[in-house]
Amino acid sequence: MYEYHTLDNGMKIILSRNTSRVTYSGVYINVGSRDEEGIDEGMAHFIEHSLFKGTEHRRAYHILNRIDGVGGELNAFTTKEETCVYASSLSTHLERCLELFADILFHSTFPLKEIERERDVVLEEINAYNDTPSELIYDQFEELAYAGHPLAHNILGSRRNVKRFTPERIGRFLRERYTPSRMVLTVTGDVSFDRLVRLCERHFGGYGSYPSLVDRSRKPQFHPFERYVNRHTHQAHLLVGCEAPDVYHPDKTAFSLLNNILGGPAMNSRLNVAIRERYGFCYNIESQYVPFTDTGLFYVYAGVDLEACDRARQIIGDELQRIADERLTDYQLRAAQRQMIGQMTINDDYGMNEMQSIGKAYLCYDHVNTLEEMTADLMAVSAADLQRVAQERFLPSLFGTLVYGNH
């Protein structure tokens, strides 16, 4: 059971109460890399780094020591559509976390010396990413699939842009977009809801909301493609994908189950059995479903032996076609549903995962389904639903294909 509250400035609060001595808290902000264009590309990620570099009240060391000094952990991440600052701590230190969140989100000063140092850190992160083809291939895939749209550019930005970020531009970008009405504060832990609301009123209630410059009115269009990139790698990296349901689409639950059957984390996924276990072509093969607010992506990634790339690609296509052609039996459907329910329950048992999942859900839906409600939705998916969705989405003409190889 979740408890909700909205501050007068539009900031939303959600609590999942339990009896753990550890509290997980975070602020989800509805701003990500898709909300940048041109010279600002990479800014949301750079802000995520820069928030810890100094405020009107603290220097960088004091920010880091505020949570780490009592045995907790402070961190952040950026996605295409969100930025999240989060912490884990003993329940007795929750207010310390909330006060620090407010300080870095509303009082960061972005000192020039610290920004220059962090610029070097981000540039090295870009270098490391470029040296990791199994990660880089996802970004290049999205650049090709969504060419001309803000979803196309990668989260880290370009080296050229990062070198030009100044404290003034960083501060302006933040002030123009990171308004309280685009924020959700999410907490899991042993804290009363009344106390949480009082703490949020104290530390966040005094900041007024204002119109944000975030504009997502332009819907992205997926462009099928086929591209081979020659890279000096010891294995081929293969990524095939297509457009998938967005977060509001009625087929989202069915597609999530479909993805889990095909290439989810379990060793018995169809793609893992068909390619790794049966032929030993690869060490890693997986599928992912990433829903955005107005589109979604489905990928299948495999790192395979160079000589086996074409065969692996054919088998992937065969498995996608098979799940579209052959309706699951009742036994297969129930087994797939039980497996996914078990995975969701185990994942939800870790407070950090729950805190992040309910924060993102509340940001999108203004409501969070309980595990029982999600289970009911999953059990309502029929074999006919799965087959229909597969037939609609897994047409070969709708796919993009990207291969990194050494030929």
| Span 54-99, pLDDT tens digits | 999 999 999 999 999 999 999 999 999 999 999 999 999 999 999 9
Tell me how long the chain is: 407
Among residues 275, 283, 189, the alpha carbon closest in space to that of 234 is found at 283
Among residues 296, 286, 278, the alpha carbon closest in space to that of 240 is found at 286
| 2-204 matches 225-405 in fold | yes
* Rounded Cα distance, 13 and 75, in Å: 19
pLDDT attached to residue 229: 95
pLDDT attached to residue 1: 84
**Looking at domain 225-405, does it have CATH number 3.40.640.10?**
no
Residue 407 has pLDDT above 70, yes or no: no
Over residues 137-152, the pLDDT tens digits come to: 999 999 999 999 999 9
pLDDT attached to residue 406: 82
Domain 2-204 class in CATH: alpha beta
Is residue 145 a contact partner of residue 152, using CB atoms and an 8 Å limit? yes
Mapping DSSP to helix (H, G, I), strand (E, B) and coil, where does residue 108 land?
strand
Q: Burial code of 302-338, b = ≥16 C-beta within 10 A, e = fewer?
A: bbbbeebbeebbebbbebbeebbeeebeeeebeebbe
Query: Taking the domains of the chain in order of start, what are their residue ranges?
Result: 2-204, 225-405
Residue 315 has pLDDT above 80, yes or no: yes
Mean pLDDT within 15-36:
97
Give 1: exposed, middle or buried? Use CB within 10 Å, 0-12, 13-18, 19+: exposed
Two tokens, residue 357: 């999942």
* Rounded Cα distance, 70 and 58, in Å: 17
pLDDT attached to residue 278: 87
pTM of the entire predicted model: 0.94
Among residues 173, 107, 111, 138, the alpha carbon closest in space to that of 301 is found at 138
Mean pLDDT of the chain: 95
Of the pLDDT bands very low, low, confident and very high (cuts 50, 70, 90), residue 121 is very high
